[in-house]
Structure 1
Amino acid sequence: MSSRLALFLMSLTAVPALAQEPTAAPPPFQAQVNDPMLAPAPSAARQVASWQEALRLVRERSTDLRTAEANVERAQGRWRQSLSLLLPNARLSMGVTEDLLHPNLAVGLTGAPIIPQAGQPIPTVPLLSGTASLTQSLVDVGAWRGLSSASAATDSARANLSDIQRRLTLGLARTLVATVAAERSAEINRVGLLRALERAALTQRAFELGSGTQLDVVRARQDVEVARQALIAGDEQLRRTREALGLAVGLPEQVGVEPAFQLQGLVDETRQACAPLDGPEARADVESARKNLTATRDSRQQATAGYLPTLGLSSNLSGYTTSDPAPAQLATWSLAAVLTLPLWEGGARGGLVRERTGLERQAAESLENTRRNVQVEVARAQRNVGVAESLVKTSAESRELAAKTDQLTRRAYEVGRGSSLELVQSGAALRQAELSLVLREFELVQARLDAFLTEARCDW
């Protein structure tokens, strides 16, 4: 009888327990935060909307481009000077001669022709004279080598101009990508500060309800200050990238990008503006160094040809008009072949040959150094694309895990199963993961641009 009573009493106590419904979890806490630093970063006074607009500013205002164009003009001027030594040279001179101190002296002193009168030589004064001279180089090996050197130097300057255009295109693309990345990072920093403020409000509420401690509040506030520091540093980096973009387009001010600016359009338009090359040897800077070596070699041969004789043709036509003691008109015409034999100039020619030999050796080493750098640059740029793709993939996975961890940690803290240390650490990890993902995505865009532009020719 006692056993049945015990079972009955147990059934009575179990029924309410079985009938009791599970307690629903409290809804997530929604903090209301308002902070002046959450306002978007101020826009730049001037913004570019497209790649074509930015490239137009570079064409109009780039000092590097103007300098390279001036170098081409200088090289063309030197080529014309070298060519003038092989073309005919004509001169015309006129003058009036009269000896004011000794008007009656003989012609040998005055340079005027004589008119004999009564068996005496009488100088014809005043004398109006005119002389036309024409010279033409027939054989001058040094002049020909000088012309060849000037022509190679002109080609080198043109190739250098093409390389400057490529480098300006690459620099502009990098600066635009960096500016867009800085804009995006500034936005993420504000989101990170907002989340840190929400966590601080959550810990403050938990402390007020008695489920948290003062240590939890202090930790959360410390995390807020860390987020503020990241936001301040990010805004300064944004201003610096805008200044760099302004300098890239030739403006001494901050230049931003409009929100509608698309990086994918930047990649497509860059591929349309520049043409791919067959290999690193065809790049403009290698071609410029190669032409510079040819120019220095021809210049050294020009100096060596200074030991050789030169042959030229000279013709002079002179006319005189006199009035005293009698009007007269006299004319002379001469034609001469001039052979010049260099004998001794004090060693200046040998010193010039040694100097230009040294310049040739420097140009050869510069060409080899340029080739090595280009090969490494091209290989590195191609490798960076694969590295950037892998980093984007891992960063995306890391960001997803950080977001899930932060969500679970916050929920656990709300229901009293987590600590404030875990809450702060998960929030900091999420901020870092989001920034890392953004930077990796922009690095991938930059890597693809670098891989293309390191083996491209950009002629504006």
Structure 2
Amino acid sequence: MIPSALLALALAAAAEAGAPGAADPGTAPPVLTLDAAFRRAREASLELRIADERLAQARTLARKAWSHYLPQVTAGASYAWNSEDVVLDLPTSFAIRDLGRPTSAPRAALPPYDPGRPFSPGNLPGEATTLALIPTSMEELELQRKTQYGAQAEVKQALLAPRLWPAIRNAYLAEDVASAQVADTRQKLLFGVAQLYYGAATLREAVAVQERTLETWRQHETDAEHLAAQGAAPRLALLKARTDRARAEQDLIRAHNAYAAARLALATLLDRDADFEVERPPEPPPPSADAQAQEERAARRPDVEAARARLALAQGQRREAVAAYLPTLGVSGTWRWASITGFTGEHAGWTVLLGLQWTLFDGGRREADLAEAGHRAAEADAALALASNKARDEVRRARLDLDSASAAARKAEEQASLAREALEQAQRAHAAGAATYLEVADATSAASSAELGLVAATLDARLARLALARAAGTFDP
């Protein structure tokens, strides 16, 4: 039987990937190496593509932040239809002429001038005269036309914008967060590929063990048939041999299906067909014996670096909230052209404006933003401490798991060696007539179980090494 540890991996893969398809018996499928699987994961993984696109989006944040500090240039044009023309005729020069008669009502017809009262047509200073101002030239001012059009261009430049300074830095910090997240996603992806690949390779070894076991049971069945035909063995021994052979055939089918399911899971992760075989991967490198160095390295894992970058970003956002209390200074220039001349008598004109803006009270919005940023920074600080503690705990637990898995692998190897030796002795004793078939069958079953146990224990030890490398941040294929 296939060990439960191996079946768990295969059944989980089958549940997600579906039933395995039949391979073409006429052609041998290509061999997918572990390095090729890593390359394929980097190139075709949808998760990694999503993470890369998020990083690309984060990189645009700095450009957006800088855009508020760079010149803003706008241009526009307009065309208007009005109900009527509005033209104002204004005199531009005058001549003084004596009309021979008073230019206003006689003084006697008006009340005396009262200096205590405001100036008005009924309270005029002085006396009426016969002199008058006569316009000698006129200027026509266009205030409105039935159809009029114009254009304008404006340039704005921020000179002093304190809130933009931390905003620009925060944009780069957001890029650091996204970059660390991409690195973490890539490491987790490749770690998952390695786990599935080692599992598939181990299941292939389990298939080989089952094939050898089936061949042994078939040989036992042949021997039992000869002995039963000669009357040297009871028919019960023949029935037992045939039952053992049938069970071994079923176990081989399960092993093949488990291996196919593992390849399907790996193919799904790599976004490709499962028409490949796997080879025995290299042994994972042995971990460092310095536990302190592993914990220090774990503190620089991509997920911990992402948490550290989030803390820096949260602190930067708090500085940005504080900078909102400071004033802003900017300059703008506008050039205009209109089809009507207006009061200036010119179609074109320009304006330069130096403006200072200082928000003194905004209803408490800045105070709320500052409090929120402070709580966000406290949350990020706690998240960083949690990520660091989690990384250190994962390293310690991974070391314990590796110690247990290594010890189990050594014991499994010892048991497999003893089981093989016991099987050889049982076969020699049976050939000499000193042992029954049932004893040989028991030895064969024990040897098969020990071989599969060794395969499973070896897989557990390999995965434990990979897990420790992942926890310590040294897994970087």
**2:55 matches 1:72:** yes
Alpha-carbon deviations, 1:210-240, whole Å to 9, x = none?
A: 3433433333333233323321221111011
Give the corresponding residue for 1:163. Answer: 184
- Return closer, same or farther for 1:314/1:454 CA change in 2, 3 Å cut-off: same
- Return closer, same or farther for 1:41/1:369 CA change in 2, 3 Å cut-off: farther
Alpha-carbon deviations, 1:370-420, whole Å to 9, x = none?
A: 222221222333444444443333222211211121222233344443344
Give the corresponding residue for 1:131. Answer: 152
Aligned-residue offset at 1:206: 3.4
- Distance of 2:329 and 2:31 partners within structure 1: 62
Give the corresponding residue for 1:4. Answer: none
Give the corresponding residue for 1:93. Answer: 76
Give the corresponding residue for 2:201. Answer: 180
Give the corresponding residue for 1:26. Answer: none
Give the corresponding residue for 1:104. Answer: 85
User: Contact 1:196 / 1:223 at 8 angstroms: preserved in 2?
Assistant: yes
Give the letter for the 1:285 counterpart.
D
**2:451 matches 1:434:** yes
Q: Of the candidates 297, 300, 322, which is equivalent to residue 315 of structure 2?
A: 297
Alpha-carbon deviations, 1:287-308, whole Å to 9, x = none?
A: 11110122123224434543x1
Give the corresponding residue for 2:335. Answer: 318
Moved more, 309-318 or 282-291: 309-318
SS at match of 1:417: coil
- Distance of 1:219 and 1:459 partners within structure 2: 52
Aligned-residue offset at 1:432: 0.9
SS at match of 2:445: helix
User: Contact 1:406 / 1:426 at 8 angstroms: preserved in 2?
Assistant: yes
User: Contact 1:200 / 1:224 at 8 angstroms: preserved in 2?
Assistant: yes
- Distance of 1:331 and 1:358 partners within structure 2: 51
Moved more, 174-183 or 46-55: 46-55
Give the corresponding residue for 1:341. Answer: 359
- Distance of 1:324 and 1:282 partners within structure 2: 69
Greater per-residue helix proportion: 1
> Which entry has the higher C-alpha Rg, 1 or 2?
2
- Distance of 1:136 and 1:46 partners within structure 2: 65
User: Contact 1:309 / 1:342 at 8 angstroms: preserved in 2?
Assistant: no
Alpha-carbon deviations, 1:155-187, whole Å to 9, x = none?
A: 111122222222233222222222211111111
Moved more, 76-85 or 360-369: 360-369
Alpha-carbon deviations, 1:117-147, whole Å to 9, x = none?
A: 7466432544443333233334433332322
- Return closer, same or farther for 1:194/1:45 CA change in 2, 3 Å cut-off: closer
Aligned-residue offset at 1:421: 3.5
Give the corresponding residue for 2:425. Answer: 408
CA RMSD of aligned residues (A): 3.4
Equivalent runs, 1:199-218 vs 2, <5 Å: 199-218=220-239
Q: Of the candidates 36, 41, 51, which is equivalent to residue 53 of structure 1?
A: 36
SS at match of 1:295: helix
Alpha-carbon deviations, 1:335-370, whole Å to 9, x = none?
A: 22221315234x555554455445434433332332
Q: Which segments of 5 or more consecutive residues in structure 1 lack a partner in the other structure?
A: 1-39, 107-113, 269-275
- Distance of 1:128 and 1:458 partners within structure 2: 68
**2:166 matches 1:142:** no
- Distance of 2:206 and 2:172 partners within structure 1: 51
Q: Which segments of 5 or more consecutive residues in structure 2 lack a partner in the other structure?
A: 1-22, 92-137, 287-293
- Distance of 2:353 and 2:275 partners within structure 1: 69
User: Contact 1:321 / 1:327 at 8 angstroms: preserved in 2?
Assistant: no
Aligned-residue offset at 1:191: 1.1
Alpha-carbon deviations, 1:198-218, whole Å to 9, x = none?
A: 223333433333343343333
Aligned residues: 400
SS at match of 1:141: coil
User: Contact 2:327 / 2:358 at 8 angstroms: preserved in 1?
Assistant: yes
Give the corresponding residue for 2:98. Answer: none
User: Contact 1:322 / 1:328 at 8 angstroms: preserved in 2?
Assistant: no
Aligned-residue offset at 1:437: 1.8
Give the corresponding residue for 1:371. Answer: 388
- Distance of 2:27 and 2:46 partners within structure 1: 23
User: Contact 1:318 / 1:331 at 8 angstroms: preserved in 2?
Assistant: yes
- TM-score relative to the length of structure 1: 0.75
SS at match of 1:264: coil
SS at match of 1:344: coil
